[in-house]
Structure 1
């Protein structure tokens, strides 16, 4: 299964793991559906009071949408079909705290998940980037999540530099996007420790706090998201041209090995 869930009833913590390491934990349509179902199911599991989200393997937390996932788009610039809009905990009405544990690459659509986590703990070898502009695509939803989690200039740089530059875990920590940096392999244990502490507190107070913090920014995000379809429709290159740019870059990377 593309998403694994383990529950510890003694601590009240669930660990949700993206489990497609052979695809760098990229999200195909089945994984998107599975993630949404996991978050919605956790709403009804009173033995779970906090969750940790991580990725399988050492190379990547998540590399966004799997390019094999074919999604037909409406012709209207006011509508979009984006399966990643429903993969986050907040999008699925889950108000239990979620902590992200990141190792390796986190890029593109990974920000839909990181943007809806309470906070992020990253290994020293984690890196963050957004490839959209490199391949002729608008970074719309991704950059909106980033703009709520880091200073404007940092969000703009990360979104605009595409694959040419990666933000290190240390830099992400300096600007407040990452709350803690650990040795490689220590990020999950650190996130679980935080989750266990939070899960030991009264549930109503914890969930009310999660909801309060999110309320401070959800109106801004909803307004921004309402404009994203037009930005994408106006700015994206045709899919064929995007594929050419992607293929050319992959060929270049292969020759450089």
Structure 2
């Protein structure tokens, strides 16, 4: 993996780590390319069932982007965060569950990257902010669109209009994060969430994520009437057979992800 991003996986859990602590883990084009490689590997590798996105150093998860919209090795435009945010280029859809482990500053593009996760665990020193209006810089407004969808309306508008930050405890109170823990327990807690997800059928988890997110902005009657290909495909999977057998035998299922 390229400089600035660490990647490893073990026991069906991938760990992606922003590793530029002296720059508050702000994302440059090289990191964007490395993140794209990580997401592509996670999507394509059937032995990876869940991913944890974290960062090195106590001071910051990510302080945004050095340059909006990095580039792949072949020169194509890429959205910030290796394509994950949809800001500055085409958006990449991560099919596997993603947990963000956030400490210190998560501001601007870093806040947006955290909001791309399915579950957010925050250290008690975390701060979330949208500084664009405060510093007089307004570009592509992806972070604002995400904030207004993931936070109560007036809380999101206050962040957007003032450029001020909220702390981890406020973020938990507003439903932005799932859990707040001491910094020393951040990675342990994020990996615990990953273990819990990995104990479920990986194909069922992926099918559920696809169904929920692909119709999140649609009326309920449309969502209910939609046919979801991953759910239909799951009916013919080895994991569905294993799930039924494990339930009948009253034992823990041995998932294969196939």
With the shorter chain as reference, the TM-score category is 0.7 to 0.9
Which residue of 1 is the match for residue 225 of structure 2? Answer: none
Q: Determine the C-alpha separation between the residues in 2 that align with 1:83 and 1:208.
A: 24
d(CA) in 2 for partners of 1:42, 1:183: 28
> Does residue 72 of structure 2 align to residue 107 of structure 1?
no
Return the alpha-carbon distance in structure 2 between the equivalents of residues 40 and 89 of structure 1: 14
- Identify the residue that residue 145 of structure 1 maps to in structure 2: 146
Q: Which residue of 2 aligns with 1:217?
A: 216
Quick check: 2:61–2:106 contact (8 Å CA) kept in 1? yes
Residue 127 of structure 1 corresponds to: 127
1:148/1:217 contact within 8 Å kept: no
- Which residue is equivalent to 1:205? 204
> 2-side partners of 1:42 and 1:211: how far apart?
15
Note if contact 2:65-2:109 (Cα within 8 Å) is conserved in structure 1: yes
How far is the alpha carbon of 1:38 from its aligned partner? 0.9
Distance across 2 between alignment mates of 1:43 and 1:131: 32
> Aligned equivalents of 1:70 and 1:92: distance in 2?
15
| Paired residues for 1:58-97 under 5 Å | 58-66=58-66, 69=67, 83-84=79-80, 86-88=82-84, 91-97=91-97
Question: 1:219/1:27 Cα in 2 relative to 1: closer, same or farther (>3 Å)?
Answer: farther
Q: Give, in angstroms, the shift of residue 131 of structure 1.
A: 1.2
Q: 1:155 to 1:82 in 2, by over 3 A?
A: farther
SS of 1:217's equivalent? coil
TM-score normalised according to structure 1 size: 0.74
Structure 1 residue 219, shift from structure 2 partner: 6.7
Aligned counterpart, 1:183: 182
- Ranges in structure 1 where 5+ consecutive residues have no aligned partner: 73-80, 221-257
- Distance in 1 (CA, whole Å) between partners of 2:79 and 2:23 is 18
C-alpha displacement of 1:212: 2.1
Q: In 1, distance between residues paired with 2:81 and 2:165?
A: 24
CA distance in 2, matches of 1:71, 1:102: 22
More helix by share: 1
**Does the CA contact (< 8 Å) of 2:97 and 2:209 recur in 1?**
yes
Q: Pick the structure with greater CA Rg.
A: 2
TM-score by length of 2: 0.74
